[in-house]
Amino acid sequence: ALFPLAFLVAAIISGFSAYSYVKMSNAYPSAGGIAMYLKKAYGRTTMTGACALLMAFSMIINESLVARTFGTYTLQLFNVGENSFWVPVLAVGLVVFAFLVNISGNKIIGSLSQVTAFLKIGGIVVFAAIALWAAGFSFEPSLNSGASNGLPGSGFLAGVAIAILAYKGFTTITNSGGEVKDPNKNVGRAIIASLLICTVVYLLVAFAVAANLPLDRIIEAKDFALAEAARPAMGQYGVWFTVAIAIIATASGIIASIFAVSRMLAMLTEMEIIPHRHFGLPGGVQTHMLVYTVVLAATLAAFFDLSRIASLGAIFYLIMDIAIHWGVFQNLREDVSANGAILLTAAALDIVVLGAFLILKGTSDPTILAIAVLGLAFTFLGERFFLKRT
């Protein structure tokens, strides 16, 4: 079945992508993370500012995606349809909650992250193990549903593009260079460890879902497939269990992501790569960026559906990722002792996936493609205008 295979291919591509980040973090550990890496590769240029903003936009888009997922899963506890107006209401509520946690201080964020990481990873593994055991480790449902006929190549690669978003959380680790011990080694090790853990967990979940639901049911329940897959294996108790895990995972993910975005944007401001206005807000630059991030994420969560949010995030992230690989290859590969062939392979894989994704979206959803093009034009032209004025 191609459904779990998409996650495996995404893991391989993310592994190649991680190579650039590991090499950069080993050589230039910094709290600025990707923003600092781009500046090292391109200097104080339009490319640096625009690509860093694309990463920030991608993360904010992903936050809104996760927030809506939180709303959708939470409603599984009640007799309410997933298209209810409560989905955006709950999504915005989660974003606001994440903001309140973030302004409470780094110690609270750190402690909460450790506890929730243990709960969500352990819970997901338990779900996957029980679901696979209940299905007798058989994958007949997905095979009998037509998955064996395959998907068009562009459709499969487009699925890979969305799956890559599930792995890109490792990029937020690059912001930890100013906090961890021996960052020249440990940031890179953390990136590798996170990718390995995610790959194992995602594949377990993908196989568990495929073993318990036919493909047409997976598509029908695309916004809450995990909870639906728990139903035949564990009944209503399984649904409640997976919903609880989903709530913990989405809430903790948004808290960490909002912190990482605000820190990166604050770093860009300090480097005078992006403009900043405080609009009378109290606090420092990072607090202001935290507010702006929350407002944008809440707005997207309120007015965009899941598939469109994910599409925008995938496009912006892949473009930024390609820029990282090319920048390291062109300007820094000797400084960071990177293998040029691996860097070019990572960029080529991104280009193939992005190209297939754009082709598919151009035929199935040209509106979101137009929004992406306008967003790119606004970002690059706006950044160029700002840098010329300063």
Domain extents for the chain? 2-389
CATH 1.20.1740.10 fits 2-389, yes or no: yes
Tokens of 366: 């040209």
CA 22 → CA 167, 189, 232, 259, 381, distances in Å? 15, 8, 41, 21, 30
pLDDT for position 144: 46
**Phi, psi for residue 178 in degrees, rounded to 5:** -90, 0
pLDDT for position 102: 87
For the chain, the straight-line distance linking the first and the last C-alpha, in angstroms and rounded, comes to: 54
Average pLDDT over residues 171-186: 80
Q: Which has the minimum average pLDDT: 109-113, 119-123, 187-191, 355-359?
A: 109-113
Q: CB 116: neighbour CB atoms within 10 A?
A: 17
The C-alpha torsion from 322 through 323 and 325 to 327, rounded to 10°, is 160
The mean of the pLDDT values for the chain is: 85
Distance CA 328, CA 38 (A): 9
Q: Which residue has the higher pLDDT, 112 or 302?
A: 302
Contact 264, 33 (CB under 8 A): yes
Distance CA 296, CA 62 (A): 11
Average pLDDT over residues 269-281: 81
Average pLDDT over residues 145-173: 71
Percent of the chain, pLDDT > 90? Answer: 36
- Split at pLDDT 50, 70, 90, the class of 19 is very high
Question: What b-and-e string marks burial along 1-37, b requiring 16 or more CB atoms within 10 Å of the CB?
Answer: bbbbbbbebbbebbbbbbbbbbbbbbbbbbbbbbbbb
pLDDT for position 148: 41
- Split at pLDDT 50, 70, 90, the class of 154 is low
Average pLDDT over residues 78-97: 84
Long-range contacts of 103-112 (CB under 8 A, 24+ apart): 103/287, 103/290, 109/255, 109/256, 109/259, 112/252, 112/255
CA 197 → CA 113, 121, 141, 201, distances in Å? 16, 9, 27, 6
The C-alpha torsion from 307 through 308 and 310 to 312, rounded to 10°, is 160
Distance CA 135, CA 382 (A): 54
Contact 224, 18 (CB under 8 A): no
The SS3 of residue 283 is coil
- Split at pLDDT 50, 70, 90, the class of 331 is very high
Q: Which has the minimum average pLDDT: 195-209, 314-328, 331-345?
A: 195-209
DSSP H helices, 146-224, are 153-167, 183-212, 215-220
pLDDT for position 390: 78
Predicted confidence (pLDDT) at residue 14 exceeds the cutoff of 90 = yes
Residue 180 — left, alpha, or beta (φ > 0 → left; ψ -120 to 50 → alpha)?
beta
Q: Which residue has the higher pLDDT, 204 or 277?
A: 204
Percent of the chain, pLDDT > 70? Answer: 91
Query: How confident is the model over 94-147, as pLDDT tens digits?
Result: 999 999 988 887 677 777 777 888 888 898 888 888 888 877 766 554 444 444
Q: Which of 61-70, 110-119, 168-177 has the highest mean pLDDT?
A: 61-70
Q: Which has the minimum average pLDDT: 40-54, 144-158, 350-364, 372-386?
A: 144-158
Q: pTM score, two decimals? A: 0.86
Average pLDDT over residues 208-225: 76
Predicted confidence (pLDDT) at residue 191 exceeds the cutoff of 60 = yes
Q: Which of 207-216, 229-238, 255-264, 380-389 has the highest mean pLDDT?
A: 380-389
